[in-house]
Amino acid sequence: MENQTYNYAIVRSFVTWSMIWGLVAVLVGVIVSLQMVDPDLNFPPYLTFGRLRPVHTNAGIYGWGIGVIFAAFFYIVQRLCKVPLWSDKLAKFQLWFFNATIIASAVTLLLGYTTSKEYHEMEWPIDIMVVILWVAFSINIIMTILKRKDEQMYISLWYMMAAIIGVAILYLVNAAAVPVSLFKSYSAYAGTNDANVEWWFGHNAVAMVLTAPFLGMFYYFLPKSTGVPIYSHRLSIIAFWSLIFMYLWTGAHHLLWTPVPDWIQTLAMGFSIMLIAPSWGSVFNGYLSMKGQWHQMRENYLVKFLILGITFYGLQTLQGPMQAIRSFSAFIHYTDWVPAHIHMGTMGWVSMICFASIYYLIPRIYDRELYSIPLANLHFWLTLVGQLVWSISLWIAGVLQAGMWNAMNSDGSLTYTFMETMVEMYPYWWARVFGGVIYMAGLVLFIYNIYMSVKKGEPTAVQTATTEGRA
């Protein structure tokens, strides 16, 4: 039994709820993919593609992604700082307010209340709830770090602090609006300024929600899983500061060929290309940490998830800068190539790290061994195959779309009508459904394995969960 007592009860609760919202996100994702191939599956007014799609994205990013962030960092911050959470009561409040915020978001979106801003669709009352939630989390993490016993801050805490500060600034600036009724507001910005602020927020939300915290988790769980230290702490710090600086200027690459001033577009394009360096700094740091340990890719299911996760991160950060080049963006923008790119990040990079984190946490927060390692390995392969089928089918579809849209006859008329293009997409959209079903099967298997681990897993050799109650 450890001398120090940590609050693992809150970690257990966030793990549970993150898995619930993850299942909701993937299930709704499969439904909206089916609606794309069969419009009769749209049931107005509440269960249409236009209303379900933001439910899917918000449940995935904020319910699943941030839920795992909360779970992982409530565990990590206690372990790295060697002190318990600053406030258990604040953490409990955060848990239930987190669920209330997700539910309120889903209900209002289904009812049609939306700002129409991507990744920031919630109207102003929900915005206030999000701010309260983030402030509660930030205070607890910052105060715990301030009372730490170790003077040095490991890289994982650097990434978490960046996310805390970055999300706060981004969300507040983009949320600036004038309420006109209980569930309707108008942006404080107009025209191209509104678009520029929105994508400054949108792309940096990728940085501060879907990148920084997960790199922090990767840097913590990889050495813990392999038993060897990270290759270079110095490289991780250099990559950190470079990433934080460069990401801030990239948002306008979503607005190439628009009325946004040309110099802003060029700045965004340049910094997007430069992002390859710090991103791959972390990728190489992960790979070099595996020197002499590559056999663990066969033997250690945790390492499978972590290394494939960082690999998808690396691929995403090659594809993204390529899409930020004007000539390529002109060809590929608005095609299915773009959601394929996004989902390589969310289904591949983010979710792989989430799965690895939860698999690592369960034996330590419940004092129970994983129920079945073969099931975990099967889950890995279902996740990998589902993700590859999903993304590759849409990459092909995107290139085909772009080619058909740009094909012209000798007289300058378009070779194909828009509907002809749509018809050609159906085989690839069915492949997307198939990939999504495979992925969901893996997720169900994962949840079953975790449930059985808690209920029937063998006791761990060393008891580690030293705190408040069992979940």
Tens of pLDDT, residues 136-192: 999 999 999 999 988 889 999 999 999 999 999 999 999 999 999 999 999 999 999
371 occurs within a structural domain: yes
Q: What is the mean pLDDT of the chain?
A: 94
Q: Give me the pLDDT at residue 50, please.
A: 95
Q: How confident is the model at residue 4 (pLDDT cuts 50, 70, 90)?
A: low
Q: How many CA atoms lie less than 13 Å away from 440 in the CB half-sphere?
A: 19
Q: Give me the pLDDT at residue 149, please.
A: 87
The one-letter amino acid at 135: V
202 occurs within a structural domain: no
Find, among 82, 1, 17, the residue nearest to 471 by Cα.
Answer: 17
Q: Give me the pLDDT at residue 150, please.
A: 82
Q: Give me the pLDDT at residue 470, please.
A: 31
81 occurs within a structural domain: no
- pLDDT tens for 95-148 read 999 999 999 999 999 999 999 999 999 999 999 999 999 999 999 999 999 999
- pTM, entire model: 0.95
Q: Give me the pLDDT at residue 15, please.
A: 98
Find, among 257, 77, 94, the residue nearest to 156 by Cα.
Answer: 77
- pLDDT tens for 42-96 read 999 999 999 999 999 999 999 999 999 999 999 999 999 999 999 999 999 999 9
How much is the average pLDDT of 256-282? 95
Q: How confident is the model at residue 468 (pLDDT cuts 50, 70, 90)?
A: very low
- Containing domain of residue 390, as a range? 335-471
Query: Which tokens hold the place of 153?
Result: 């801050």
Within its chain, how far is the Cα of 442 from the centroid?
Answer: 18
What single string gives the DSSP state of each residue in 58-100? HIIIIIIIHHHHHHHHHHHHHHHHTS--S-HHHHHHHHHHHHH
d(CA 345, CA 352): 10
Q: Give me the pLDDT at residue 335, please.
A: 96
464 occurs within a structural domain: yes
In the chain, the number of structural domains is: 1
367 occurs within a structural domain: yes
d(CA 441, CA 310): 23
